[in-house]
Amino acid sequence: MLAKFMQREKRFTKSEKIAFLMLPMVLAPLLFELLLHERYITWFDNYHDEVLIANIVFIVLVRFAVLDTAVYIFSRSKNHVHLALMQIVLLYLEITVITIIFYAVMFNMFDVFSLFHLNSQFPPENLKTIQEHSFVASRYISTVTFTTLGSGDWIPQTLPAMMAVISEVILGVVQGGVFVAIVIYAHQNKAR
């Protein structure tokens, strides 16, 4: 199987420039779910936790199987060292943004205020503003979780929310290590 993959490698590296355009397709299942959420509210409410867990499994598998493979193949291109490293950095930035957006949309779709409890002493007018902008709150929670800052003001209230936080933290921590490894590999590959 590895031999077949290596034979196909040239075909993949020829189309490396479209990687930046293909990565946002990871968000496609969420668009489909948003339509389901609008049309089949009762079904969605009945399978709320199962759909959330399926989303978590999907992003973790896609993140490791597709996105990191794309970066690996991209790092093997024959471009100039500095250009290739810059492209890898930009590709990883895009992967980071897509992962954060995926979790933010998921948190917002499943009602961020039922998944998380705000553990802060905000004045009532500030709390009302936060509740009116649930997607901003979802993006904040996702960004803080992915970057492993974990400010502690948003506490997961359900088991699926806890699983989502665990998976996003793992993706964030692993991404840093994988990024460094791929940059080192790309640099060594170009030096040969």
Listed as ranges, residues in the chain with pLDDT below 50 are: 1-3, 5-14
| pLDDT at site 60 | 82
pLDDT tens per residue, range 63-96 = 777 666 666 666 665 655 556 667 777 778 888 8
Cβ neighbours, 10 Å, residue 151: 11
Query: What pTM does this model have?
Result: 0.73
CB 55 within 8 A of CB 165: no
Report d(CA 172, CA 176) in Å as an integer: 7
HSE of 95, CA atoms in CB hemisphere, 13 A: 28
Q: How many other C-beta atoms can be found within 10 angstroms of the C-beta atom of residue 87?
A: 20
- The one-letter code for the residue type at 44 is F
Asked if residues 92 and 71 have their Cβ atoms less than 8 Å apart, the reply is yes
CATH: 3.10.590, 2.50.20, 1.10.287, 1.10.3470. Which one for 27-191?
Answer: 1.10.287
What whole-number distance in Å separates Cα of residue 21 and Cα of residue 146? 23
| Separation of alpha carbons 169 and 185, rounded Å | 24
